[in-house]
Amino acid sequence: MGLIDKKRFRSTFEAFSEIGATDAGGLHRVALSEPDVRVRDRFVDALEDLDLAVRVDEVGNVFGRREGTDPDAAPVLIGSHLDSQPRGGRFDGQLGVLSALEAVRVLADHDVETRRPVEVVNWTNEEGTRFKPALMGSGAYTGAHDVETVLSTADDDGVTLAEALEAAGYRGDAPVGAERDPHAYLELHVEQGPVLEDRGLEIGIVEGILGMSWLDVTISGDSDHAGPSPTYTRADALVAAADVVTAVRRLAGRLDDDVVTTVGEFEVAPGSINVIPDTATFTVDLRSYDEETVQAGVEAVEREIEAACDREGTSYTMEEIWRIPHTEFSPEVCDVLERSADAAGCSYTRMIGGAGHDASYLADVTDAGLLFVPSVDGKTHNEREFTEWTDVLAGAELFAEATIRLADGEHPGNS
């Protein structure tokens, strides 16, 4: 018997997808932007419609709590994030929050009593694109990020997270962090890679996630006239930076099989057609499951920058703005997911994920698990991000089932 209300789930997903929708079917809902605030409001309304106790903490994480029968039992936390990348997809994060909302709606539909409280959560600024680093709300909740540092982090316009939260009405007064560690955490997310689709599987039971490093790099040269300046007099920041960008990409193949490297942001100044650039600033995102490989990768990037600057006569600064070790999820929760997948007759595999998720930090403080559904063409952080609705339903169904098990609830199918 299916647990979720398919019609309700679809209409909720479509309604939320209209908030910050782009013409190409994606989302433009960067953390604490106007559409992110509207979708937060919609989420709070849905929690209140379920008579959940809603609380917002100091960094804007939003929780809806459904009490269990045992007042002393630690809660099961379920959720993900509603913020998106600029021109991102409508499944990344949002699917996890709405699957969690649907799971609690299922409990209400069937009057399922759970021994443990269940809390649905929307984490602030998972994407880390406006305020760096990523996983900001979940990192503050678990202690990985310092709350004051998070609140004073500014975006490119100098607006701090605290100011953005105040303006949005989401700088809550609930203390950041759990009164006590949750019993378990569960998140459903699109895979954002090609594995499940290539293997024709419905579900990924995620055992771990790559570790990563984010670097901020500035290369400084000397501006001069594009005409009369002979090449040998030039200290062209862009030429040095361009050498580094291609070297960073080559590193991915050299360091280890799972290493991926990305230069996602790049700016040049003064940015005039007939002036030799004196400044190039860019970011590096480097990932691997092996900690030593990540460290070796950061050191290799710095060597490439040094060599490029020696060749061009430029100077540089490099700052590591984020490092998160690889994640290992709870074998117990993976087993619960596997039992649920078997019970539901889903095809699945255990796997390692390449994208960071809020579950990465929750795994530091509780038994955390992460469930994937396939991404068509593995495409994500892109308006073309898509998951077949049959796969979405299989994931949401499994998620609701596993939530009931983790919360010690009586499966409605047994009543």
Alpha-carbon distances of 401 from 107, 133, 242, 247, 263, rounded to whole Å: 10, 33, 50, 47, 40
Does 36 contact ligand HGY by CB under 6 A? Answer: no
Q: How far is the CB of 80 from ligand HGY (least distance, A)?
A: 11
Does 397 contact ligand HGY by CB under 6 A? Answer: no
Q: How far is the CB of 210 from ligand HGY (least distance, A)?
A: 9
Does 312 contact Mn ion by CB under 5 A? Answer: no
Q: Which is nearer to ligand HGY, 75 or 353 (CB)?
A: 353
* Six token digits for residue 269: 């100044």
With tokens 């040269």, the residue in question is 221
Distance of CA 233 to the CA centre of its chain: 45
Residue 295 · residue 202 · CB < 8 Å: no
Choices 100-108, 124-132, 178-186, 362-370 (CB under 6 A): range interacting with ligand HGY: 124-132
Residue 381: Cβ within 10 Å count: 18
> Which of 268, 264, 303 shows the shortest CA–CA distance to 284?
264
Residues 335-364 that bind ligand HGY (CB under 6 A): 355-356
Q: Which is nearer to ligand HGY, 243 or 285 (CB)?
A: 285
CB-side neighbour CA atoms (13 Å) of 404? 25
CA 256 – CA 130 distance, rounded (Å) = 30
Q: Find which of Mn ion, ligand HGY, none residue 20 binds, CB within 5 to 8 Å per kind.
A: none
Choices 53-61, 84-92, 221-229, 257-265 (CB under 5 A): range interacting with Mn ion: 84-92
Does 211 contact ligand HGY by CB under 6 A? Answer: no
With tokens 């913020």, the residue in question is 83
Q: Find which of ligand HGY, Mn ion, none residue 134 binds, CB within 5 to 8 Å per kind.
A: ligand HGY
Q: Find which of Mn ion, ligand HGY, none residue 128 binds, CB within 5 to 8 Å per kind.
A: ligand HGY
Q: Which is nearer to ligand HGY, 357 or 405 (CB)?
A: 357
The pair phi, psi for residue 2, each rounded to 5°, is -75, 145
Q: Find which of ligand HGY, Mn ion, none residue 93 binds, CB within 5 to 8 Å per kind.
A: Mn ion
Q: How far is the CB of 12 from ligand HGY (least distance, A)?
A: 23
Q: Which of 92, 197, 367, 401 binds Mn ion (CB under 5 A)?
A: 92
Does 395 contact ligand HGY by CB under 6 A? Answer: no
Q: Which of 93, 133, 137, 139 binds Mn ion (CB under 5 A)?
A: 93
Q: Which is nearer to Mn ion, 92 or 197 (CB)?
A: 92
* Six token digits for residue 312: 């061009």
Residue 102 · residue 4 · CB < 8 Å: yes
252-254-258-260 Cα dihedral, nearest 10 degrees: -10
Does 127 contact ligand HGY by CB under 6 A? Answer: yes
Does 36 contact Mn ion by CB under 5 A? Answer: no
Cis ω for the linkage preceding 175 (within 30 of 0): no
Q: Which of 57, 126, 367, 383 binds ligand HGY (CB under 6 A)?
A: 126
Q: Which of 26, 128, 137, 369 binds ligand HGY (CB under 6 A)?
A: 128
Choices 24-32, 33-41, 120-128, 220-228 (CB under 6 A): range interacting with ligand HGY: 120-128
CA 341 – CA 99 distance, rounded (Å) = 16
Does 133 contact ligand HGY by CB under 6 A? Answer: no
Q: Find which of ligand HGY, Mn ion, none residue 356 binds, CB within 5 to 8 Å per kind.
A: ligand HGY
Does 137 contact Mn ion by CB under 5 A? Answer: no
Using CB atoms within 10 A of its CB, is residue 209 exposed (0-12), middle (13-18) or buried (19+)?
A: buried
* Six token digits for residue 240: 């040095």
DSSP string, 72-119: TSPPEEEEE-----TTB-SSTTHHHHHHHHHHHHHHHHTT--BSS-EE
Residue 196 · residue 378 · CB < 8 Å: no
Binding site for Mn ion (CB under 5 A): 92-93
Binding site for ligand HGY (CB under 6 A): 126-128, 134, 355-356
